[in-house]
Structure 1
Amino acid sequence: METTPAPLAPLTTEQPSTSAPAPETQKNANPQPTSNPNNVKINITTSSTGSDYATPAATLFASAYSTDPVFAYLLNNLGPKKQSRARAKLFGLLCMLFAMDGLEFWEASISSPSDPNRNEEGGEDGKPHFHAALVLATPGPKTSWSVSASTIFNLLFRSALLPFIFLIGPRQFGVMNGEYASLCEPVRKAYLAKTLGTGEGKEDEYFEVKLVATDEAYRGRGLCPALMRKVQERAAREGKPVWLEASNANARRQYLKLGFKEVREEGPLKLGQGKCGEDGQKKKKGEEGATGVSVWPMVWWPEGSK
């Protein structure tokens, strides 16, 4: 799930909780410049532990996913102001969980050619400016969109989860913590078990893009495609597929352009069917337009690996 990409729920901002302590971060010493058709230089940096990238990434995600249908559905029991606060806390929690589980955080920043009429936009110094961000799960056991009892206890111990539950309500937390995962995870597990095999962890040998988004001010300049292509290059070197779930139609189109394929011949999954419209806003059961939100499970395979 640019943003897309998808609970404790899937994965876009505001002032999130402090990220969890982690081993010393290992960033790439030399930012990787990437050229693109817009004549801007894109610098990409990564953090192998996420300890110092989780908070700025969460802030970006909360803002970028403010109109995403999946997150709209997960928070549609709240008014606009509370939704904004809850979204910030949600992405703070998600990024904290990802950092705790050792997922990789990537960011991309740009700098334009010198222009006497405006200031340099940043990124050329090699420092992370988070014009775009991505969270990547590498091959091996994956973090689920649903939160286990032990993880809930850990978050409660850190005083990070309780304020969020008070804000959205226990019932909505239950929806958020189970509905998305129960919809998407069986599809992913069945597909990857079929294509990768089972036993000895074979079914876990894939990359997964958990979240990816661009700051609204920097959209249309190739940042997310640059991040995704870096992921594809790495996956190609290792001969492993990349999995993601597109949570809106625009993200789906962008992923198709990057060579991703839809997994389901019968079309997208439907989250909240009978309870919300395609935009994630509340609908009553039987009401016209209560189709639910579309979620597209997608996969990319390196050439010759499948």
Structure 2
Amino acid sequence: MNTTPPANQDAATLLRVDNLKVQFGVPRGGFPWSGKATLRAVDGVSFNVRRGETVGLVGESGCGKSTLARAIIGLAPVASGSVRWLGDETVLPGAHRDTSRLRRDVQMIFQDPLASLDPRMTIEQIVAEPLMTHGQNIARADVQRRVLTMLERVGLNAQHLRRYPHEFSGGQCQRVGIARALIGEPQLVICDEPVSALDVSIQAQIVNLLRDLQRELSLSLLFVAHDLAVVKAISHRVLVMYLGRVMEFGDKREVYGTPRHPYTRALLSAVPVPDPVVERARRHLLLRGEIASPLSPPSGCAFRTRCPDAIDACAREIPQPVTHGAKATRVACIRVGDVAKEAPLGNR
């Protein structure tokens, strides 16, 4: 499996997210007359995606992964920070900018394959829709040819053109969703938990398909998931989130081989290893308590209330990601130099 990042990485940045914050006003106590509380879904996230690479975005449910993905393409409101596409600011709070280029160059694959497809449209109409939406003046015969070519690329064929979504399995519907995302020749595809709703036997097929398409089409992927084994199989770099903040971001081999943040170490220690000898020798890190509410996050480090290595200073300051290691992994932990480095998965 070749997951070597592209050469000349710094010069090949497609997407740059800087200090992005997404907030929602929600009724206090669940009642509309009790006033509004601020839910910080994404709290100061910064990262970039380079040409031809996959960035995996992982974390527990509710950590802000999907909200971040949606904010990048303008489907969630941005409170502050910026999203730059090829150096141009495209998504800013209160700004009315032309995002047509971003919407053409960046496409999304959604979590629920059937719910993301219009049940009244045929597969041909669904896959062809982006070509019409973005105003491309293409002859009908050329549209049909491109749709069929893309369907064949994702493992479907001409017999599926006139059929409707309800006639397909979940895996087939996700293949249709992939074809729809790629028909307009985007440079970046955001995959929002694309395999979590599928059977385990189908998940590997979809991951392998995405990896093959990325290589063939020179795509960049932002792959959102909570399954660390899936993310490891497809990603070049991995970003770990907790309560809307970045805990660790770096090269996959560094993050999985020598995780530096206590939260990353705990997540990886929970991933089962097929070898029973290795599994018995591992030290599992159990997190105490429950994940805090984003309506009232802890002071200082968001993870400190569950962290086995927390000290008093962790409550006084919000740690900013700083660079560690040969691969320039960024870690948001004031104790990163003191915490022992382990490799829970037993490989790099």
Q: More strand per residue: 1 or 2?
A: 2
The structure, 1 or 2, with the larger RCO (C-alpha pairs under 8 Å, 6+ apart) is 1
What's the TM-score, normalizing by structure 2? Answer: 0.25
What's the TM-score, normalizing by structure 1? Answer: 0.27
- Max radius of gyration: which structure? 2
